Amino acid sequence: MQIVITLMGQDRPDLIAELTRMIKDAKCAILESRMTELGQEFAAHMLVEGNWNHIVRLESLLEATAQKGNVRVGTMRCQEEEERKEEELIPYTVDVFAGDQPGNIHELASFFTDRSIKILDLSTSRYPAPYTGAPVFLAHMIVKIPSGMKIVSLRDEFLEFCDQLNLDAILEPVKR
């Protein structure tokens, strides 16, 4: 059985250790996780696996932690995956560097979703550029492109899209 956990709280040095200890104590395993400091706060997203009774124990440990008021916790049990034949999807990475403009993230997300391309992962950041201090926008995405899609055409459309928004970007296959 699998569960998705989202945890938010004030950042402190022992928060990751506390969260991972609860998972270990419940005899569950972390399959995927993203844990990061966001401003002065902390956020974690995790996919955890265990027997049903271990998941129930973990849920009660997380609930007790949330009731102490230290963190906010959200959990969702994953649906059992059915065997389904999907069109083969090819992972591509997208890296974007640009002057920060309102709506950059939305425009990028819309470009791919309008073409039925699934966004698997998206991370962004903003920082002042060296020398000028102008706000700079960075984005890193992993998208899944249907194998039947013409990559050359997609890349041309993407480059034209980036030119219109004054984005410097790269679209290339994920390399292992």
H/E stretch holding 152 reads helix 151-165
pLDDT tens digits, 15-37: 889 899 999 999 999 999 999 98
User: What is the distance between the alpha carbons of residues 25 and 34, in angstroms, rounded to a whole number?
Assistant: 20
Every domain of the chain and the residues it spans: 2-77, 89-173
The torsion angle over the Cα atoms of residues 61, 63, 65 and 68, rounded to 10 degrees, is -140
pTM for this one? 0.72
3-state class of 121 per DSSP?
Answer: strand
Establish whether domains 2-77 and 89-173 are of one fold. yes
Q: What tokens were used for 53? A: 């009774």
Lowest mean pLDDT among 107-116, 128-137, 149-158: 128-137
CATH topology of domain 2-77: Alpha-Beta Plaits (3.30.70)
Specify the amino acid at residue 135: P
Which numeric CATH code is attached to 89-173?
3.30.70.260
3-state class of 110 per DSSP?
Answer: helix
Q: What tokens were used for 156? A: 């041309």
Nearest by Cα to 50 from 3, 10, 106, 107:
3
pLDDT tens digits, 65-98: 888 877 899 999 988 765 445 568 899 999 999 8
